[in-house]
Amino acid sequence: MEWYNYLACFFAGAFLANFVPHFIHGVSGNKFPSPFSKPPGIGLSSAPINVIWGLVNLIVGFLLFNAGNISTIQPLTWILFFAGAAVMSIMLSVNFQKKDKE
């Protein structure tokens, strides 16, 4: 596999992890920070914006998952996928813990 396949594995995990909070808050009807809020990532976006942003992350994550050729034959692809999900999840938890204080 090429280096960019491994990079795709990592970012597939990151995008799919980012899908979860935006989609869940959106379908629950809750406002939640997104890149489209004012200020970006700090202010709150509407529920429909979060659903759309979540679905964009799902599509990009799925495309990267396929581009990364993630399979059981190459265990490193799964390790990188989960590393991307872990890194994004930790970053999101640190960033979003501030949302209720604003």
Question: What's the pLDDT at 101?
Answer: 59
Q: DSSP states of 19-67 as a string?
A: HHHHHHHHHTT--B--TTSSSTTTSPBPHHHHHHHHHHHHHHHHHHHHH
Instruction: Determine phi and psi for 70, rounding to 5 degrees.
Output: -70, 125
User: Which residue, chain included where needed, has tokens 């999900």?
Assistant: 85
Domain spans, the chain = 3-27+54-96
Question: What's the pLDDT at 38?
Answer: 87
Q: For every one of its 102 residues, what pLDDT tens digit does the chain have, with 9 covering 90 and above? A: 888 999 999 999 999 999 999 999 999 999 988 899 888 878 889 999 999 999 999 999 999 999 998 888 989 999 999 999 999 999 999 888 876 655
